[in-house]
Each structure stands twice: as C-alpha cells, then as structure tokens.
Structure 1
C-alpha cells in the first residue's frame, strides 16, 4: 500500500510539472480608425483584443462605437511628438493647450477606457507634461498604457507615483512586417508571460499581423496562456514594473 501511495504521488507530481503554468497575455492593436477594412478585420479577432484608436482618422468615432458595442476595450491612441497633427502633444506646448488637445481627442474616441501613446519618443520623456497627464487621467478615471517607444520614457513612472492604473508594453509584434518575424515576436511574448506571469503585446493592423493573430490566438490556451482584457492585466500587475522596465517593481526612470 505504501508503495502504491508513493507511486501515485510521483505520478501526480510529474503531471503537475508537465502542465504549463497559467500565464496572462494582453494584446493591443494600435493605429485603428484609418481603414474600415482593417478595422473590421481587427474587430473580428477572437478574444479580448484591445482597440487603440487614433483621434485624427476618418472612422475614429464610428469605430469606437462599434468596438464598444462588440464588447471590446477601446483606448485612445494619443499622438505624441514626433507624431504630428491637430491633436499631437509636443514639448514646449503649454499645459492648457495640451489639455485642450486631450479633450478634443477623447471626444473623437468615445467609450475610451484609457490612453496609450502613439509615437511619443520625445514627449514621453517630458516629466512635467507626463505628471500632469497622469493626474488628469486619474481625475477622469481612465487608465494608461505606456507604449515604451523610448527607453527614456517617464510616463509609467509618473503613473506609478500617484497610483494611476497603468501597464507598460513588453513586446512590439511587428517592427518587422513578415509573418515569420511576427510569429517569433508572439512566441517571445508567450515565453515572457510564462517567465514573469504576464506580458503586454502591441501590434498594428497590418495584413501580416492580423494573419498571424487569426491563426495563433486560438492556440494560446493550449500553450498555458490566457488572453485577458486590458483592465484585468492592470489588476494583475497592480501597478508594478516588470523586470524589463525597472527593479523590485519600481520603474527605473524615476
């Protein structure tokens, strides 16, 4: 009997080791609102994929409403320097003008649960403006996603200082626009999620990206990955920096 009990315990331990640990993934698709065809294909992706909609696009408002009705999370993809246009934030612009541009952009993208930066390699390093933005988002009960288009970003650090609900991007899916490269980046995200418990991926509505996601999202569960809503990822991370963004849960650019 003792032998059988030991054997059973060994088998159970082996099964536990073989089973993949639960890990979480959030996928955000940027630059939406420009093309009805690409928007609709993105909207049809399986699972809780987040729709990041640019305010200065012809279909921004209509698509935000469609995405919300479809149960997707909508966020404002806010243009920041070096991005240009009527809504873009640039260093040197006074805070009242930045506030007006944020107001106008949010009006163009209804149902936005939060904001992430479009470009912004220069703007997200501006501490005063980022501190103001995080305070304003907190006042509006909106979350923030730091796209981390530059290692010099202080945006997430400023969000963390005031306890604003936020996350930071871990992997860009499609800097190289080939199915092979995008598949590799998705695999990197899966490995990262298993290693640190979660990963936030950002991609774009390129045909190659959508092709890979249409094929691979249904396979995530068999890899021990749960695709979750952005809001759940914020709760999962509890405003802590991941190892690639800082140490001991604090962002390096403080």
Structure 2
C-alpha cells in the first residue's frame, strides 16, 4: 500500500514538474497589402495557404472585383486606406476637414466590398494626427469594423486612439519586405516566428512582390511544424484583447496616447 502511494505521488509530481516545460501556443497573422493592382499578383496571393488577410487599395483597377473574389474564397478582406503621404482621390491628409475625410472613407469602402476592417496605406504623417484618428476610431466602432495600425511611423497615435474607445484592433509587429530580396524576406519571417514564440503572437505585413510570394509559398506550409498557428485577424484581435505588445507600449497600454 505504501509502495503504491509513493508511486502515485511520484507520478503526480512528475506531471506537475513536466507541465511548465510544455511550450505555449504561438499565433501568427499575415496581411498582404497593396492588392487590387494586378490580377496575376492578386490571384497568386489568394492562393497562399491559410487565413491570409487581403488588404485592398480602393484606387486600383481590380479593387471591387478582387474583394468579391477574396470574400468568396473565405479570406478576410480589409480596406487598405491611403493616408498622407499617399495621394489620390481617397487619401487622407492633415488639415482636411472631418466631413471630407468621412466622404473619402465612404467612397473607399464602397470600392472594397466585404471589408471587415481597415489598415493604413502609408500614413506616416496622418496617423500621428490625434483628432482625425480619434474620429476614425469612433466611426469604425459605429460601423462595426476593426482597425490594424500598420505602424508606418513611430509617432502613430492610431492604435492608442483605438484602445481608448475599446475598438477592436491590432498593431503590426514585423514588415516582411522593406528589403526586397528573398534572403531578407526569409529573415523577417524567421523574426516573426521568433517573436510569436516569445510574446505568444505576431502580426506580419507583406506585399505581393514576387520575392515575397516566393518565400511565403515555400515557408508557410512549414509554420505548423515550427509551432506556429496561422490565425485570421478577428482571432488575433481576440487573442490580444486590444492590448499593446511590449514594443508598442507598457503594461498593455500604447505609447503616444
């Protein structure tokens, strides 16, 4: 009897001490920006495996058609909203009246049907503007859309304004292809994997460059074997619960708030 009791205690203690050695889950979300410009690149992007988010620019020749195609394929579609220094009929610029910003947002969303949210295209000068960013987050809340801060500027207040009204949002952690070589892009993807393991999740943004698509086509099927689970943006928003990651703030609160 004493032997059985000792054996049971030994097995239980082994289970308890083994538990911390198990790795936690590591999630990744991938967004491809600048879509709608080329049917060939759009189709190749759409063929990437898993829940890749399609960020479609409104001022492109295939925006509406591709948004419908991507939605039909079960992909998350978001509006890739042009913001200063971007130009064009939909772009937001500092100093533009809110009424004009609203009209441009309406027109852009009309061009990209099925958009579940938006992220900024460029926007380094616009996302640092507190008043229009606060208005945008309230408007997205009203429309039941989420926001992704592409973080094209360290001075961005966009995610902070989203957090202040508890708007569903996330912030980008890694850009894949600032340097357009396969080696550099593969290195950034490895950085994303390491970051996901370290902090539990990582949001990556890339573009439909041939080099980027080549790397993703080769490496995405290997992510699961590396302990990475690819999830869609709504799942990522739920996973992060509107909290800032350590690189973007402190104790879950964004800087520049």
TM bracket (short chain): over 0.9
Aligned to 1:241: 244
Give the alignment's TM-score, normalised by structure 1: 0.95
Contact 1:79–1:118 (8 Å) recurs in 2: yes
1:60, distance to aligned residue in structure 2 (A)? 0.1
| Of 48, 52, 55, the match for 2:51 | 48
Where does 1:64-213 land on structure 2 (aligned, <5 Å)?
64-213=67-216
Q: Which whole-Å CA distance do the structure 1 matches of 2:164 and 2:15 have between them?
A: 47
Q: Which whole-Å CA distance do the structure 2 matches of 1:56 and 1:25 have between them?
A: 29
Give deviations 1:41-65, integer Å, cap 9, x for gaps: 0000000000000000000000000
| Of 30, 33, 37, the match for 2:33 | 30
Q: Which whole-Å CA distance do the structure 2 matches of 1:12 and 1:36 have between them?
A: 54
1:22, distance to aligned residue in structure 2 (A)? 1.4
Q: Which whole-Å CA distance do the structure 1 matches of 2:106 and 2:135 have between them?
A: 14
Contact 1:172–1:202 (8 Å) recurs in 2: yes
Q: In structure 2, the residue corresponding to 1:125 is in which secondary structure?
A: coil
1:20, distance to aligned residue in structure 2 (A)? 4.0
Give the alignment's TM-score, normalised by structure 2: 0.94
- Bigger-Rg structure (1/2): 2
Aligned to 2:255: 252
1:21, distance to aligned residue in structure 2 (A)? 2.8
Q: Which whole-Å CA distance do the structure 2 matches of 1:197 and 1:160 have between them?
A: 20
Aligned residues, how many? 253
Structure 2: gaps of 5 or more residues: none
Q: In structure 2, the residue corresponding to 1:107 is in which secondary structure?
A: helix
Q: In structure 2, the residue corresponding to 1:123 is in which secondary structure?
A: coil
| Bigger mean CA offset, 149-158 vs 216-225 | 216-225
- After superposition, the CA RMSD in angstroms is 1.7
Q: Which whole-Å CA distance do the structure 2 matches of 1:8 and 1:187 have between them?
A: 37
